[in-house]
């Protein structure tokens, strides 16, 4: 197990490093000059040249990348071209706000989707399955920004019980942001639940038709015990990767939903950085998002090993 985890961590480091190279190269290939963008189109050539020298843009790209990646490892992503503030401090603040939505959405969506998926799988082709499948299809068909807009119309305008937009800054206390987390959480849970329910339903149907479940039933075990003790752990295995991808999608910042609610998270920060061509911020968000995806995949693999001892046995045999 330790060797497997070590190999996966090494693979994760290599993946993030490759993502960093790609992100840095893509940013460098963008048209336009950063110094001209900072100073404006009316800047004199001497001023542009001086700023390029100050920002190190005249140095070879390889050296600039090594400086940037060394700082990124220490948590220093440079300085924003727009605000002049350290990117790290601003990014972690927005990431904290995104985590409020992500944690709430994960708690709601994962729990409800597993329950609904199991119910739909156990009652295949009966009315509970029909209802769940229909709702799931609707959830998958409607984009999250449409769900967010409908929630604003219903719960912020028609029945004004929740705030439609967030007026607080990113540095606002968590307690002030909590009321604004409800609507984004509902909007994202609808979309996220739909995908996980489909996978869970399919897995439950396949597992309930397997030989070991039939054997457990022949031994006289009740349906509840068969599902909880035998079927559910195996049914969750293919679902873990879907959950991991959705979690990474959330933590990486759901730009559209955060923009609808004016929520000060990573998604809105990304949109503002794209609009302002704030390259250091773009690089930082891209690398952090890549790291989140890698860690979520690693967590899904470790979860699969914990649920299925045969994977651990296979790993030992491979060694």
How much of the chain is in helix, strand and coil states, percent to nearest 5? 80, 0, 20
Asked if pLDDT for residue 43 goes beyond 80, the answer is no
Asked if pLDDT for residue 319 goes beyond 50, the answer is no
- Compute the distance between CA of residue 301 and CA of residue 306 in angstroms, rounded to an integer: 9
Backbone angles phi, psi at 170, to 5 degrees: -65, -25
What pLDDT score does 140 carry? Answer: 84
pLDDT per residue over 269-318, tens digit each? Answer: 888 887 777 778 888 888 888 888 888 888 877 777 776 656 555 544 44
End-to-end CA distance of the chain: 11
What pLDDT score does 317 carry? Answer: 45
* CA distances for 206 relative to 70, 191, 214, 236, 294, angstroms: 48, 24, 12, 11, 28
- For the chain, domain boundaries: 100-278
Asked if pLDDT for residue 11 goes beyond 80, the answer is yes
Q: How confident is the model at residue 116 (pLDDT cuts 50, 70, 90)?
A: very high
Burial class (CB in 10 A: 0-12, 13-18, 19+), 57: middle
What pLDDT score does 313 carry? Answer: 54
Residue that wins the pLDDT comparison between 126 and 235: 126
Superfamily of domain 100-278: MetI-like (1.10.3720.10)
Q: How confident is the model at residue 236 (pLDDT cuts 50, 70, 90)?
A: confident
pLDDT per residue over 129-179, tens digit each? Answer: 899 989 988 888 888 888 888 998 988 888 888 888 887 888 888 888 888
The alpha-helical segments, DSSP class H, found in 153-278 are: 174-208, 211-218, 223-225, 232-251, 255-260, 266-276
86 pairs with which residues across the strands?
79
- Compute the distance between CA of residue 34 and CA of residue 26 in angstroms, rounded to an integer: 14
pLDDT per residue over 196-218, tens digit each? Answer: 898 888 888 888 888 877 787 77
What pLDDT score does 1 carry? Answer: 66
């Amino acid at each position: 197990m330790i060797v497997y985890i070590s190999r996966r961590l090494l693979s994760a480091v290599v993946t993030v490093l490759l993502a960093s190279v790609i992100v840095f190269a893509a940013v460098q290939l963008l048209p336009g000059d950063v110094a001209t963008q900072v100073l404006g189109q009316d800047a004199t050539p001497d001023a542009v040249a001086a700023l390029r020298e100050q920002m190190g843009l005249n140095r070879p790209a390889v050296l600039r990348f090594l400086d940037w990646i060394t700082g990124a490892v220490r948590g220093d992503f440079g300085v924003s071209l727009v605000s002049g503030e350290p990117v790290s401090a601003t990014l972690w603040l927005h990431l904290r706000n995104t985590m409020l939505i992500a944690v709430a959405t994960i708690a709601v969506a994962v729990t409800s989707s597993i329950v609904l998926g199991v119910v739909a799988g156990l009652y295949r082709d009966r009315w509970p399955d029909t209802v769940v499948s229909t709702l799931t299809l609707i959830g998958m068909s409607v984009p999250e920004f449409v769900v967010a807009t409908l929630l604003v119309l219903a719960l912020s305008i028609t029945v004004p019980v929740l705030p439609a937009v967030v007026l607080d800054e990113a540095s606002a206390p968590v307690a002030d942001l909590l009321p604004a987390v409800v609507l984004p959480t509902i909007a994202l849970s609808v979309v996220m639940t739909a995908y996980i329910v489909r996978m869970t339903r399919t897995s439950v149907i396949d597992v309930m038709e397997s030989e070991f479940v039939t054997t457990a039933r022949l031994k006289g075990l009740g349906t509840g015990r068969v599902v909880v003790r035998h079927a559910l752990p195996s049914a969750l295995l293919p679902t873990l990767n879907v959950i991991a991808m959705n979690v990474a999608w959330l933590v990486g910042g759901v730009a559209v939903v955060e923009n609808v609610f004016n929520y000060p998270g990573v998604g809105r920060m990304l949109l503002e950085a794209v609009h302002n061509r704030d390259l250091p911020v773009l690089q930082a968000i891209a690398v952090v998002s890549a790291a989140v995806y890698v860690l979520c995949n690693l967590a899904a693999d470790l979860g699969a090993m914990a649920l299925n001892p045969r994977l651990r046995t296979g790993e030992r045999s491979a060694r």
